[in-house]
Homo-oligomer: A and B are copies of this chain.
Amino acid sequence: MSPDPGRAFAVEPWVVREPRLDLDRMGQVESVFALSNGHIGLRGNLDEGEPHAMPGTYLNSFYERRPLPYAEGGYGYPESGQTIINVTNGKLIRLLVEDEPFDLRYGQLHRHERVLDLRAGTLTREVEWASPAGRVVRVRSTRMVSLTQRAIAAICYEVEVLDEPALLVVQSELVANEQLPGRDEADPRVEAALTDPLVAEQHRSAEASATLLHRTRRSGLRVAAAMDHEVHGPDGVKVTTEATEDIGRTTVIARLEPGRTLRLVKYLAYGWSSRRSLPALHDQVRAALAAARYTGWDGLVAEQRQYLDEFWETADVEIDGDAELQQAVRLATFHVLQAGARAERRAIGAKGLTGEGYDGHTFWDTETFCLPVLSHLAPEAAADALRWRQSILPLAYERAEQLGLGGAAFPWRTIRGQECSGYWPAGTAAFHINADIADAVRRHVAATGDEVFEREVGLELVVATARLWRSLGHHDSSGQFRIDGVTGPDEYTAIVDNNVYTNLMAQQNLRVAADTAARHARAAARLGVNAEEMASWRDAAKSMRIPFDDVLGVHPQAEGFTNHQVWDFEATPPQMYPLLLNVPYFDLYRKQVIKQADLVLAMQLRPDAFSLEQMRRNFAYYESLTVRDSSLSACTQAVVAAWTGHLDLAYDYLGEAALVDLDDLAGNSDHGVHIASMAGTWTAVVSGFGGMRMDAGGTGGISFAPRLPPALSRISFGLRWQGRQLRVEIRPGEAEYRLVSGPPMRLHHHGEPLALGDEAQVREIPALDPVDPVEQPYGRVPKGRHPGS
């Protein structure tokens, strides 16, 4: 139950327990313990605010503008960026014991435990503390961000005096413009800090409640935060509330006898708008607060558990034989849900709402890693994320026009839709994001069979992106359709011709657009699509150039890639990684060294474009070049390793993807958790070991090719499939398919058709052909989890 030395958390199946406080890991733990419903995010800061690594209270898409400076500017460079900001902090509950503040850095800490309960959706804390003067108190708090009431968070805070009677003062606060710690600006991945971004507009207080309204200085957004309290304490407890511009404060004073408890339930409501008036926004949060009080603490807790019970019924992945992995996979699934659950037509960021890493931006991660999971576990959240993309199409059309292109060019990184990338070779040039969005549409439609969504949302997205590709590529004199001068997923290469990933994804984008337009002819006509245009998409797709190196017998990542010098891995000591912090882009771009799966990701997402033999050769080749300086790599390598028969390696990579934040493998979990790697964990299990693939289109099929890595005795996973709930169990030598709900269906098991009705079906897993081992670059072998490693 105790964590290894060097780990922050204990291993348990359904909870993440921090058995003792470790100030050095505070940032990581704040991120892992962040609670969110996709609309509100609260980092796992201590109730009393300090000590902290980074206090964080976030609202989805609430941002401030900041200038993007350039030593040498250029046409089309975005001049203004967007950055997520820490809004009014409502988590704060300070405590004074007699005349001494409850601060863990002073006095004596007898016990400190925090537990993130993945089924309850709560973060609970238990502390026993002796003040410097020797008064012993027990504090117990439970915090939640409601998945059922989108605007609401709540905290139940209890103090018990253990030794002698004591006068307690509890200050429950709303604080705007919190003082933030400085950050290491030398790391380009670290976000820019913004000081005092909120301008006070209104403050109100009543008995046990307060409301603060602010607006951002530059982006002009308005935010309202309100709190209300229920206090249960001894007779004579006194409750007052005051508010000033940046602070709302409810003060509770009580003299407590030993063994007695002072209990405070704090309800928090948040709202923001770019358009609504002060009174409208004020009333909105007060109404949400009234509903939450009406539901009550117990009611909120019950709703939360019910919501999660329903979620886990489908979503739970069971792993027998690796308790650490079991916990990690559940935590990962939980964070993916938290990121998307109630985002509701707003962006899902790379860090969810768990930290300020990457300025809170949304990248291609969402569509490529996150949505394919949500489409199977929380389809409405996936649909809403794509509806958000549709809502920013006007900006994407504008950006394409600025770049001299047709169709839509979605931003590489953004909060509200404007391009915020300040380095175009790895931003604007990474056009694959547009095909990634189309791919997420394709997968969502295949997973849900939702034709209304396809017609009303999907169609416009695939048409707009197909038009982009048609204008971005061109036919060369031999008739091949080329896409030159773009950047693929691997950020250690940029501005290349015919990146295989990009071209394959664009090819699919063009085909899906033509097919979708054919299926929804009238809706397509309203978008101006005609038969000529559809034919031109099909033709470009058919003529798409996919370079192949005949000498090596592998696909080059892009034209000419395999001619480049191979990075000198032997001469690269461990402290040089991640390379981007220690080597110029210039040197990375011109050599064979890969930050993250690129050609290998192409094989995961377009398996139809590769023979098994090609897949094996390609995987071996790229495995020897990939250093995994990105957290968007291990999960993909896990999938393709499993497909190519490297089950032990797949298992190691699954571990790396799953433990990225629990073990802080990238060293930057303090900036927020890695949502894409967490989503990729699920995919590594389901697509990798489960071998799940879907055909494109609304009525396509689904197939599995399960394989159990030798280290595990059982894997069980569930997913939603076109209105059904399906569960698959992989056991040594066999797999079982079970329809939990929904009409009978057909699927394929290792290529063999299978009809699934009420009765579970068990099928044998065919033996695995032996494969030659593959090698990673010197020093970049993943941590071995598998037996014998």
Contact = CB atoms under 8 A, between A and B. Distances in A.
B563 A476 contact: yes
A167 interface: no
A560 B483 CA distance: 12
A610 B423 CA distance: 38
A551 interface: yes
B586 A477 contact: no
12 contacts: A70-B422, A74-B188, A76-B584, A404-B583, A424-B585, A428-B586, A482-B564, A484-B560, A485-B590, A486-B590, A495-B495, A497-B590
Chain A residues touching B, majority SS: loop
B563 A497 contact: yes
B72 A71 contact: no
B188 A583 contact: no
A394 interface: no
A421 interface: yes
A551 B476 CA distance: 12
A277 interface: no
Given A403-B584, A586-B403, A564 B484 contact: yes
Interface in A471-490: 474, 476-477, 482, 484-486
A584 B482 contact: no
A278 interface: no
A580 B486 CA distance: 18
Interface string A409-446: 00000000000011111001100000000000000000
A757 B551 CA distance: 61
Most B CB atoms within 10 A — which of A186, A422, A582, A587?
A: A587
Nearest to A583: B75
A312 interface: no
Interface string A568-591: 000000000000111111110111
A587 B71 contact: no
Contacts of A485: 564, 586, 589-591
Contact of A75 (B72, B424, B428, B582): B582
Contact of A70 (B70, B403, B497, B587): B70
Interface string A83-97: 000000000000000
A69 B581 CA distance: 17
A423 B74 contact: yes
A161 interface: no
Contacts of A563: 476, 482, 484, 497
Interface of A: 68-78, 81, 186, 188, 402-404, 421-425, 428-429, 474, 476-477, 482, 484-486, 494-495, 497, 551, 559-560, 563-565, 580-587, 589-591
B583 A477 contact: no
Nearest to A565: B474
Copies of this protein in the complex: 2
Given A68-B71, A404-B584, 4 more contacts: A70-B423, A74-B584, A477-B551, A495-B589
A186 B75 CA distance: 9
B71 A428 contact: no
Contacts of A404: 583-584, 587
Nearest to A566: B474
Q: Which of A69, A71, A77, A494 has the most CB of B within 10 A?
A: A71
Nearest to A420: B71
A69 B69 CA distance: 6
A716 to B, nearest CB: 43
Contacts of A582: 75
Contacts of A78: 71
Contacts of A482: 563-565
Contact of A81 (B70, B71, B186, B474): B71
A71 to B, nearest CB: 2
Contacts of A590: 484-486, 495, 497
A484 B592 CA distance: 11
Contact of A74 (B72, B75, B580): B580
A565 B72 CA distance: 27
Contacts of A565: 474, 482, 484
Contacts of A402: 584
Given A476-B563, A560-B559, A563-B484, A72 B421 contact: yes
A76 B591 CA distance: 17
A141 to B, nearest CB: 39
B423 A425 contact: no
Contact of A422 (B72, B477, B585, B586): B72
A75 B584 contact: yes
A596 to B, nearest CB: 17
Contacts of A484: 560, 563-565, 590-591
A492 to B, nearest CB: 11
A668 to B, nearest CB: 16
Contacts of A583: 75-76, 404
